């Protein structure tokens, strides 16, 4: 993966979002292929049932995301962050692959909202990986513009306050 990253980005510091994106896509594709394979009878269904309740893979994703959050709060080593990013990508895909089930509380796997969530997350990470420099410039420009607007507004308020104060004297 290091060679792929450096071929695509050189020495840019976007490795963690890239790793998350790769593991996110890989996990999503594997899960979808398995689901469609058992939906159409190519392989037997793989599911975990506990006391008659089916435990969906989004539950595993949520637990993985909780564990990753804890690990990121406790480990300060950058090497560990890269390993944790891989686990995070897997957990993110497992959790959001069944996002439609979260919304509808229904056992329908093929809900449109699941695809929408995956697309939105993928677009966000693609932006972080490929367009990071553009977003930084846009944000910087908006911050500069916001400061100018606030400064002009403050001057206007101060001018109007002085006029009001001089009238009342």
Q: Write the secondary structure of 48-115 as one string of H (helix), E (strand) and C (coil).
A: EEECCEEECHHHHHHHHHHHHHHHHHHCCCHHHHHHHHHHHHHHHHHHHHCHHHHHHCCCCCCCHHHH
The predicted structure's pLDDT at residue 53: 78
pTM of the entire predicted model: 0.65
Same domain, 16 and 89: yes
Question: Which domain, by its residues, includes 154?
Answer: 132-169
Same domain, 44 and 101: yes
Sign of the dihedral through C-alpha 112, 116, 117, 118: positive
Write out pLDDT tens, residues 113-147: 767 778 888 888 777 777 777 777 777 888 888 88
pLDDT confidence tier of residue 21, bands split at 50, 70 and 90:
confident
Write out pLDDT tens, residues 39-96: 888 988 777 888 887 778 888 899 999 999 998 888 777 778 888 889 999 999 998 8
Count of domains forming the chain: 2
């Amino acid at each position: 993966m290091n060679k792929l990253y450096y071929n695509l980005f050189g020495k840019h510091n976007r490795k963690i979002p890239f790793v998350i994106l790769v593991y996110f896509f890989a996990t999503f594709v594997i899960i979808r292929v398995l689901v469609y394979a058992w939906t159409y009878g190519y392989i037997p269904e793989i599911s975990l049932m506990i006391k008659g309740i089916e435990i969906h893979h989004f539950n595993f994703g949520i637990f993985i995301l909780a564990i990753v959050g804890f690990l990121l709060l406790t480990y300060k080593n950058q090497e560990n962050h890269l390993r944790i990013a891989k686990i995070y990508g897997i957990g993110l895909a497992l959790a959001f692959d069944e996002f439609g089930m979260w919304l509808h509380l229904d056992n329908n796997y093929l809900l449109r909202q699941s695809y929408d969530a995956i697309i939105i997350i993928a677009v966000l990470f693609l932006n972080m990986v490929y367009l990071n420099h553009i977003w930084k410039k846009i944000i910087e420009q908006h911050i500069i513009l916001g400061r100018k607007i606030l400064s002009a507004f403050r001057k206007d308020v101060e001018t109007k306050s002085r006029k009001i104060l001089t009238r009342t004297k």
